[in-house]
């Protein structure tokens, strides 16, 4: 199974968003590796937990920024976030109940959701943040 790679076209110019996206891509790849290795539902469930938790954190940060700048497209953007979280939670619930997942379908779904979301929706948000010229300085961890 192919890894999801960071490519220059995914760069939004927002240190907040780009840093989160790099970490999300890493967590997606951990999930891919876990699914591919057949390590079992318990390991996949943990990888899903990690992905869901960080995705919620990332979406929360983006949504705070949308609110701060009164972003005109925030409702549609938030709806996309909510839909992905709902789908990830449903997938995890299926894993936790002992269900089997279609690994290539899940990999395709995540790749086909994340890349277009970044290239369209998140690039527009980053442009709006730049236009406001008030993006917060990157946080050091």
Greatest alpha-carbon span in the chain: 49
pLDDT digits (tens, 9 = 90+) for 43-82: 888 999 999 999 999 999 999 999 999 999 999 999 999 9
For 78, what's the count of Cα atoms within 13 Å in the CB-facing half-sphere?
Answer: 13
pLDDT digits (tens, 9 = 90+) for 119-135: 999 999 999 999 886 54
**Assigned domain for 120 exists:** yes
Q: Single out the residue of 31, 37, 2, 9 nearest to residue 118, CA to CA.
A: 9
Residue 96 · residue 45 · CB < 8 Å: yes
- For residue 18, what is the enclosing H or E element? helix 15-37
**Assigned domain for 1 exists:** no
Quote the pLDDT of residue 27: 93
**Assigned domain for 5 exists:** no
pLDDT digits (tens, 9 = 90+) for 11-20: 999 998 999 9
Tell me how many domains the chain contains: 1
Cα torsion for 26, 28, 32, 35, to the nearest 10°?
Answer: 120
**Assigned domain for 139 exists:** no
Q: How far apart are CA 141 and CA 138, in angstroms?
A: 9
- Domain with 105 in it: what CATH number? 1.20.120.50
Residue range(s) defining the domain that contains residue 69: 12-132
| Cβ-proximal residues to 85 (8 Å cutoff; 6+ apart), any chain | 52, 55, 56, 59
**Assigned domain for 57 exists:** yes
What is the model's pTM? 0.86
């Amino acid at each position: 199974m192919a890894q999801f790679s960071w490519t220059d076209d995914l760069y939004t110019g927002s240190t907040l968003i780009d840093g989160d996206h790099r970490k999300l891509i890493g967590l997606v790849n951990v999930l891919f590796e876990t699914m591919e290795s057949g390590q079992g539902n318990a390991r996949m469930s943990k990888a899903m937990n990690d992905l869901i938790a960080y995705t919620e954190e990332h979406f929360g940060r983006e949504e705070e920024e949308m609110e701060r700048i009164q972003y005109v497209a925030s409702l549609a953007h938030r709806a996309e976030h909510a839909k992905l979280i709902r789908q990830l939670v449903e997938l995890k619930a299926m894993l936790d109940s002992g269900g089997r997942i279609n690994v290539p379908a899940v990999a395709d779904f995540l790749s086909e959701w994340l890349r277009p979301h970044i290239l369209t929706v998140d690039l527009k948000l980053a442009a709006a943040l730049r236009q406001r010229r008030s993006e917060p300085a990157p946080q050091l961890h």
